[in-house]
């Protein structure tokens, strides 16, 4: 089992939790991004820099992910592709995306994208909060317990 992180948009607070979990549970983790970023020195934590461009990091994660892996991302199309490859996806706000819910989330995301494309103001996500961080940490713990028990 490995953790894959869509690192460009992942909040720093969520990455800090992931660094600690990787070390504590001895789980390999790879952060994929199109810009350089600091990661702690560890033989468990890796960084892969990809070319700039829309969805380049997402495509790389989908290429590398395996059945039973965990992907950390708020990107719904990436989540749908990762779930199709047998991975579990956790949003940095603590929501698990899986075969039961990713299809409806993708449809809602596509609808909102169409509305924005037609000029409608749809707003963005709320700022990352302490509650989001706690929800992420709690759900991460539950998912890792489940995934490691398989």
* DSSP-based three-state secondary structure for 122: coil
Averaged pLDDT, 88-111: 81
Going along 23-142, which residue ranges are E strands?
Answer: 28-33, 45-49, 70-72, 88-90, 96-97
Under 8 Å between Cβ of 34 and 52: yes
Domains (range + CATH), the chain: 2-149 (3.40.50)
Interacting residues of 68 by C-beta distance below 8 A, sequence separation 6+ = 1, 86, 87, 88, 147, 150
Neighbours of 15 (CB within 10 A): 21
Mean of per-residue pLDDT scores for the chain: 90
**pLDDT band at residue 99, thresholds of 50, 70 and 90?**
confident
Residue 145 has a pLDDT of 95
**Residue-wise pLDDT tens digits, 76-97:** 899 999 999 999 999 999 999 9
Averaged pLDDT, 10-36: 97
Residue 104 has a pLDDT of 67
Q: What is the pTM of this model?
A: 0.87
**Residue-wise pLDDT tens digits, 117-140:** 777 776 667 899 999 999 999 999
């Amino acid at each position: 089992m490995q953790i894959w992180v869509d690192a460009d948009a992942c909040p720093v607070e969520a990455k800090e939790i992931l660094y600690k979990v990787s070390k504590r549970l001895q789980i390999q983790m790879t952060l994929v991004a199109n810009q350089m970023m600091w990661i702690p020195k560890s033989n468990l934590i890796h960084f892969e820099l990809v070319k700039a461009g829309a969805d380049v990091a997402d495509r790389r994660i989908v290429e590398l992910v395996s059945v039973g892996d965990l992907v950390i991302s708020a990107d719904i199309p990436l989540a749908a592709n990762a779930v199709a490859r047998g991975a579990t996806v956790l949003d940095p706000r603590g929501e698990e995306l899986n075969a039961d819910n990713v299809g409806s989330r993708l449809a809602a995301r596509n609808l909102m994208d169409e509305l924005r494309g037609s000029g409608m103001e749809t707003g963005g996500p709320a700022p990352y909060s302490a509650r989001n961080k706690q929800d992420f940490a709690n759900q991460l713990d539950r998912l890792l317990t489940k995934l490691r028990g398989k």
